Structure 1
Amino acid sequence: MHFPVHIPGAALLRRARARLKAGGVIAYPTESCYGLGCDPLNARALRRVIAMKGRPNHKGLIVIAASIDQLRPLVAPLSRDDEARLMAHWPGPVTFLLPASRRVLPLLRGRHRTLAVRIPDHAEARSLAAVLGPLVSTSANPAGQVSLKSARACKKTFGERLLTLPGRVGGRRAPSTIIDFASGRVLR
């Protein structure tokens, strides 16, 4: 069953852009739940997401993008063959671990030398990334608790600490598959 894509209006997108630029956090719909997002290159924003989730710093976070072009500044240079291999899976529910570029903060990649990246098959999340730029994408819930599935639940749980964007969560029950690109090993 396909639903119409809901993209927030221009005024709400301006608020989201301003929030992200100021190091703030947004909540937005993804394939399986609402996600917490921020500018992946802003240390203050990354600390906020990690604190809101109560997530250990060493784990790292996922970044979603609308295109491989948006990911290039965040990952080590890729060959054309590697890009073609990635694009065979994207847009899709597959997150790949790729070597992180030097620009990537340890808060984003955790204790790893790789960065978890995805071009989602969820049209709303991909459209938001197209408009707002690459976004951190971690489930909207305190660590160890059930992922939130609605804007209302995000507002109830996190209140004014984030800007919650309306939309519809995709039909996936499980979070994205995570694959180490170099080895092909499935991690989740």
Structure 2
Amino acid sequence: MSALTLIQSCQYLKDGKVIAYPTEAVFGLGCDPDNQQAVLQLLALKKRPIEKGLILIAANLKQLEPYFDKLSLTQKQIELINQPRDLATTWLVKKNINTPTWLTGQFDSIAIRISHHPLVKELCLAFTKPLVSTSANLSGQPPCRTLAEIAIQFGEQFPVLKGETGKQRNPSQIRDIMTGSIIRQG
């Protein structure tokens, strides 16, 4: 496993590479959401079908605004997305007309999350935009929670932002912002 600094991680992302990084519960795989080749590489690496769509993770709502239809949301819904929570929550919101299908898959929505993990916030702020975020694991395998597990699933040289995962037991809860319904328990 190749442990990266924050600056090195940003350069990898700018160069169109996929990296692993710690999140609230597990390590995530991430890349530049605007780089189609990087996203396709991430999907191939994970063996995940493009139709499923992906999550975008960011330091703040402003970073996510280019990807979703802000006008479709009420002020209360925007406040819900912005509200810090004990449980990491990903929100399904209506996608922006320009949001590419390599991010949304077969859906008219996009999954977005403002992370409260300090290292994720730093990474997104340094990169100046959100990241694609999906759990670091091959399809059908458990999500990686340690650097050793990343090395086992992705190889010793896989680039990883050095840091610790948060204390949550499960990946983020996913909720539909329009209905409030829980799509995935956290």
TM normalised by structure 1 equals 0.87
Give the aligned partner of residue 94 of structure 1. Answer: 89
Is 2:104 aligned against 1:109? yes
CA RMSD of aligned residues (A): 2.0
| Residue 34 of structure 1: aligned partner | 27
Deviates more, 1:122-131 or 1:36-45: 122-131
Amino acid at match of 1:164: V
Runs of 4+ residues deviating >6 angstroms: none
Name the CA distance, whole Å, in 1 between partners of 2:103 and 2:86.
22
Structure 2 vs 1, CA of residues 136 and 91 (structure 1 numbering), >3 Å: closer, same or farther? farther
Q: 1:88 to 1:18 in 2, by over 3 A?
A: closer
- Residue aligned with 1:137, SS: strand
Q: How many Å apart are 1:147 and its aligned residue?
A: 0.7
Matches within 5 A, 1:37-52: 37-52=30-45
Q: Which amino acid aligns with 1:155?
A: A
**Gapped runs of 5+ residues in structure 2?**
none
- Give aligned pairs, total: 179
Question: 1:124 Cα deviation (Å)?
Answer: 1.7
Identity %: 37
Task: Please show how residues 6-85 of structure 1 align to structure 2 within 5 Å.
Answer: 12-78=5-71, 79-85=74-80
Q: Distance in 2 between matches of 1:42 and 1:161?
A: 22
Establish whether residue 184 from structure 1 lines up as the match of residue 177 from structure 2. Answer: no
C-alpha distance in structure 2 between counterparts of 1:73 and 1:112, whole Å: 17
**SS state at 2:20 partner:** strand
List per-residue Cα deviations over 1:35-54 (Å, max 9, x = no partner). 00001111101101111110
With structure 2 as the length reference, what TM-score do the two structures score?
0.87
Decide whether aligned partners of structure 1 residues 111 and 21 sit closer, same or farther in structure 2, where only a CA change above 3 A counts: same
1:152 to 144, 148, 151: 148
**Mapped pair 1:163 → 2:159:** yes
When structure 1 is superposed on structure 2, of 71-80 and 49-58 the one drifting more is: 71-80
Give, in angstroms, the shift of residue 186 of structure 1. Answer: 0.9
1:136 corresponds to which of 132, 136, 157: 132
**Which moves more between the two structures, 40-49 or 98-107?**
98-107
Classify 1:26/1:80 alpha carbon distance in 2 versus 1 (closer, same or farther; 3 Å): same
What SS does the corresponding residue of 2:70 show, helix, strand or coil?
A: coil
Please state which structure has a larger fraction of its residues in strand: 2
